[in-house]
Amino acid sequence: MPILADVADGQSQRAAASAFSRLKPEIYKTNAERIEAAKKALFEVCPNTSQRCITYKGQQKDSNNVKLCMRVLNECGEDVPRFVSHFLDDLPPVSFNHIDVSTLLGRMEQLNNEICCMKRTLEIQSNVCESLREVTAAIDGRLIAVEQPLPPATEPVAAERISDATVQRETVTTALTPTVQRETTALTPTVAARSSGQTQSPA
């Protein structure tokens, strides 16, 4: 695996070196002092590295210190402590300029869809619960009606009603019999005359 300091070009090293210019301007007067302090802090949090904390001199001092820091970071790998700044007050304030708006809008849309889905699910569940309550109430009512004992006087009352209806029918039949007989007697000559007339018409 190539070392990070070996594959990094000069522009990347200069960008890394210039990033130290924002570190504690009231404490470190020059950029070289900031890089040296960052190198010492890195060796403090990564004591198990095989690299030695070398003090460089000359014009390539800053570049060599940055390369050394890259070697330490590459060697430690996952063992590097997770920190964003040795001095937390050096971090710039987070504003809307640091937010990925497209990702934020996508997550907001996803959240909106999930909320709408939850609302529909709750509405369906409430409707189902209401239907279940109605069915349960109807079943309870039928069970109560089935479990109630029948009154003991139900059958005699029905028998008495049937006998009363029979007596009334017989009474009506008896009362109508003379009237039917009279009407039959009155209609007999008329029927006989019509029958004789129909018999004589062919002659």
Could you read off the pLDDT of 132-175 as tens digits, one per residue?
Answer: 999 888 888 888 887 777 666 544 545 555 566 565 666 656 66
Neighbours of 16 (CB within 10 A): 18
Contact between 102 and 54 under an 8 Å Cβ cutoff? The reply is no
Return the closest-CA partner of residue 72 out of 114, 25, 40: 40
Q: How far apart are CA 165 and CA 156, in angstroms?
A: 14
Q: How far apart are CA 43 and CA 68, in angstroms?
A: 10
Contact between 30 and 21 under an 8 Å Cβ cutoff? The reply is no
Lowest mean pLDDT among 98-102, 122-126, 193-197: 193-197
Give the pTM: 0.33
Could you read off the pLDDT of 36-94 as tens digits, one per residue?
Answer: 888 888 888 787 778 888 788 887 787 788 888 888 877 877 767 666 565 666 666 77
